[in-house]
Structure 1
Amino acid sequence: MNFKRYKHFFMKRYWILIMAGMATACNQPTQQSGHEADTIHPAAVETAPVTDSTTLIQPGKRIGITVIQANADSLIKIIGKPDFSDAAMGTYLNTWYARHTDGIYQTSIFSQRNMGGPDEAITHVKSVYVTSHAFRTTNGLGPGTQMSTIQNLYTLQHTGTFVKDKDSLDLYEDLKSGISFEAGKDGICRGVLVYAPEDSGAARRSVHSDWTFVAKK
């Protein structure tokens, strides 16, 4: 096998495995919402702190290998074709779904071109979102953590709720730090969104194409 082709194939599979947080993973159909795991994982999960950069959540900076302001096009070449894409006026939302042994996990990257700027050709990452329990902050917080634990370490503001049928996800953001958390009705974190500190546009831009956001008054 050609070495360059083999290396490219390996990197794509490696990233998909990391997103799923297990030894085997596969992409799911576009119509999956990525929130089926909300009902499949009713219990909170507390894990040890993460130091591996490939699964590390750093508020305001990165989740795994996806770094805020990085070239999204280069990342997609590594990750592979998204399961869902939406683009309009220089903005792009790309989503991947990976099946774990007991659920479906979502990774979404929102990116944007600096239209009319000298770097217009580059699509910059503005936010990255994950639901897999594999991703953790240095102090062990992430999807699956009790929100009461997260609230002890972040200054959170409840900005609104995502609604779909009878299900809902409350959104809590720490805009200064550059991180937001979604919580289910059971008070457990379901997803984490990272963006540049004070970037309210990225913080409040939905990564859920089939959910309605109701802002808190």
Structure 2
Amino acid sequence: MLNTNRYWIVIDFMKSSKLLILAAICLAACNQPDKKTETSKQTIDTTDATTTRTASIPTDKLIIPGKSIGQTALNDNGADVTRRLGRPDAGDAAMGKSLSIWYANHNSKGYQTMIYASRQMGTDDETSRVKQIRITSPWFITKDNVRVGSTLEQIEDLYRPQKTAWFKKDSKKFDIYQGEGIAFEIDNQQKCTAIMVFTPDIKPGATYLPFYDNLELY
């Protein structure tokens, strides 16, 4: 004979189990991430990472076209620059113009920092001002991650420079590509060997004359 009490207990248990299963399904559905929101979050995170990477470049190694390389800015007082960098290892000066060269570890075969400065003679302000800066060290870098050692392809994608001049050193030819406020020396392997910064109003060719004695224009 069927035990009625046991029968109803079984039925109640089955009903309770179904309710628990339905509740679990609803809870799982509520906890599913919204795909649109997740995608937006990924985009924000990526943007923040890019901003952080750019902002993380120390000012003393940042190249800014038309403005500065590291701590040296265009139109800085030349005397202040010399006090900061120390006495140049080489250079030349005449008629209110000067070219100063610093070598890494004072080794002439090391990386170079070259600064061309000039003064407006016969004016109220005859302070020697920085007009052009040239470096060969890959330690300096632009906000777009271009540095000495970057390829011409990378540089062309970012700066759209024009090939304006060339020179030879140790029987090797180097081309100069000029963008707005910045120029790049490129070797025969299509790699950057030096970067120059200058005021954007300087005409192609006139930019590099202080640095080379055998420059040829295209």
TM-score higher than 0.5 here? yes
CA distance in 2, matches of 1:215, 1:196: 19
Shift of 1:164: 2.4
TM-score normalised by structure 1 residue count: 0.70
Matched AA of 1:132: S
| 2:214 corresponding residue in structure 1 | 212
CA distance in 2, matches of 1:83, 1:163: 23
2:151 and 2:192 in contact (8 A); partners too: yes
CA distance in 2, matches of 1:60, 1:161: 21
Structure 2: runs of 5 or more not aligned? 1-52
- In the alignment, structure 1 residue 68 sits paired with structure 2 residue 74: yes
Question: Out of 77, 95, 99, which is 1:93 matched to?
Answer: 99
CA distance in 2, matches of 1:212, 1:99: 27
CA distance in 2, matches of 1:67, 1:166: 33
Matched AA of 1:112: S
- In the alignment, structure 1 residue 116 sits paired with structure 2 residue 122: yes
1:131 and 1:191 in contact (8 A); partners too: yes
The structure richer in helix per residue is 2
- The number of equivalent residue pairs is 162
Structure 1: runs of 5 or more not aligned? 1-47
CA distance in 2, matches of 1:206, 1:88: 12
Shift of 1:212: 1.5
CA distance in 2, matches of 1:178, 1:124: 17
CA distance in 2, matches of 1:205, 1:212: 9
1:127 and 1:202 in contact (8 A); partners too: no
| 2:169 corresponding residue in structure 1 | 164
Q: Which of the pair has more CA radius of gyration? A: 2
Shift of 1:99: 4.8
2:116 and 2:210 in contact (8 A); partners too: no
Q: Hey, which bits of structure 1, 4+ residues long, moved more than 6 A?
A: none
| 1:150 corresponding residue in structure 2 | 155
Question: Out of 193, 197, 202, which is 1:199 matched to?
Answer: 202
**Seq. identity, %:** 35
CA distance in 2, matches of 1:64, 1:115: 28
2:209 and 2:215 in contact (8 A); partners too: no
- In the alignment, structure 1 residue 126 sits paired with structure 2 residue 128: no
1:126 and 1:202 in contact (8 A); partners too: no
2:167 and 2:216 in contact (8 A); partners too: yes
Shift of 1:202: 5.5
CA distance in 2, matches of 1:134, 1:207: 21
Matched AA of 1:71: N
CA distance in 2, matches of 1:206, 1:143: 20
- Give the 3-state SS of the residue equivalent to 1:118 in structure 2: coil
TM-score normalised by structure 2 residue count: 0.70
- Give the 3-state SS of the residue equivalent to 2:160 in structure 1: coil
